[in-house]
Structure 1
């Protein structure tokens, strides 16, 4: 992934944030006849020793399955919400007009080794972990749904059609592109403009990314 230095996030916590908050990943593999890509939700597991693993489930009929059985070259992409950034957001535009549109987003590329896990308990555990993670995010007042709320006989029938997937994380590249490097008043203009346009989530990401950038710069100067 192309990552200018000012947009690079080498702190794993920021990658984990993207995976947990935007769990629908794009999984990419290469076979003899070309590239295969699919979109499936993942759950991130981190062991006490620090081992990082992405787990998911896929349909047994998915044509990508053979390329995931034992593959040391798998790519999974996660991406935040994104937005077009109009030059009108920047206060500096009124002074020089030397501004053009851009697009802000965050993304992490996970590189790892995959294996298929055709095991009932593994799949059920993955379903429970992902469901519980997402149900916690539902609006207050809604009842929290559990996998075992569905009849067990029904769940077993559905599980026969899916298989588990495990990807051990080997490396990652993470990019947060949220106006870092711009003048303070222009960053503030983007933050405010996004809120006015109802894009509160990406406005918040812009604030947080620039706070981290400022902290990094401060620590660099101290050293």
Structure 2
């Protein structure tokens, strides 16, 4: 990600908030395997757990889960099995290579040069672009895949309960949320055997809001007005964010 100074967001709490409000991340791994592609990506909803004192050096931990039938999950399992065999440590969970999770903000849109109402009529030196916001998290991944292990079972149970609670209350806004306990326990236990858990200790958290900050005041106002006139939820969201970032 190109972190142009005018677009880069240095505030860790702002980046953490974007993740909490937009939890569907894209997990990308690079794992050498004779069976599966080297580069793989999957869309996975994540939870972010914060330490007592978050900092640039310790911005939090991501938790998620993947279906075992996902080729990326199979590559992760194979890599962990190899690590455990090489170390002679059946309890080892962490892989040595870094992974990347990308989160996108709620609104993105093409920006037409027609919105630049100051520069376009004055010089014509304008080109189209795309406004968006995103956060990227880097770190080492722990893989919980032993369905017979109490550690894996406990991790997955907490993961699915916490994720459901967050989505039902924080995203859906339900006062009486659906809970995992509402489903039959034997059904939940069966489903748990078909997923693996992943936990990523974030080592670097970076992000940007590319929302016309590089443009002059007149052009920014033109962008806000242009998006508001679209009459769409995305247009309203972009206009609101451009205004906020401009301020």
TM-score, length of structure 2 as denominator length: 0.77
* 2-structure distance, mates of 1:207, 1:110: 26
State which of 44, 50, 53 in structure 1 corresponds to 2:48: 44
Residue 14 of structure 2 corresponds to residue 22 of structure 1: no
Q: What is the aligned partner in structure 2 of residue 160 from structure 1?
A: 193
Residue 234 of structure 2 corresponds to residue 201 of structure 1: no
- Which secondary structure does the structure 1 equivalent of 2:71 belong to? coil
Q: Size of the alignment, in residue pairs?
A: 210
State which of 52, 55, 61 in structure 2 corresponds to 1:53: 61
Q: What is the aligned partner in structure 1 of residue 115 from structure 2?
A: 89
Please report how far the alpha carbon of residue 53 of structure 1 lies from its aligned counterpart in structure 2 after TM superposition. 0.2
Residue 102 of structure 2 corresponds to residue 77 of structure 1: yes
Q: Which runs of 5+ in 1 are unaligned?
A: 212-223
Q: Deviations over 1:113-138 (max 9, x none)?
A: 10112412211211122222222222
Please report how far the alpha carbon of residue 193 of structure 1 lies from its aligned counterpart in structure 2 after TM superposition. 1.8
* 2-structure distance, mates of 1:210, 1:72: 38
8 Å CA contact 1:43–1:54 kept in 2: the answer is: yes
- Which secondary structure does the structure 1 equivalent of 2:154 belong to? helix
More strand by share: 1
* 1-structure distance, mates of 2:243, 2:178: 33
Q: Deviations over 1:141-175 (max 9, x none)?
A: x8532222222222122111112110000012212
Deviating more after overlay: 157-166 vs 114-123: 114-123
**1:145-184 paired onto structure 2 within 5 Å:** 145-184=178-217
* 2-structure distance, mates of 1:151, 1:123: 16
Please report how far the alpha carbon of residue 139 of structure 1 lies from its aligned counterpart in structure 2 after TM superposition. 5.9
Q: What is the aligned partner in structure 1 of residue 144 from structure 2?
A: 117
- Which secondary structure does the structure 2 equivalent of 1:7 belong to? coil
Q: What is the aligned partner in structure 2 of residue 138 from structure 1?
A: 172
CA change 1:32–1:72 in 2 (3 A) is closer
* 1-structure distance, mates of 2:108, 2:39: 25
8 Å CA contact 1:71–1:115 kept in 2: the answer is: no
* 2-structure distance, mates of 1:124, 1:90: 51
Please report how far the alpha carbon of residue 4 of structure 1 lies from its aligned counterpart in structure 2 after TM superposition. 1.4
- Which secondary structure does the structure 2 equivalent of 1:64 belong to? helix
Q: Which runs of 5+ in 2 are unaligned?
A: 81-94, 146-151
* 1-structure distance, mates of 2:225, 2:177: 34
* 1-structure distance, mates of 2:39, 2:69: 18
- Which secondary structure does the structure 1 equivalent of 2:126 belong to? coil
State which of 83, 100, 113 in structure 1 corresponds to 2:127: 100
Q: How much is the aligned-residue C-alpha RMSD, in angstroms?
A: 2.0
- Which secondary structure does the structure 1 equivalent of 2:6 belong to? helix
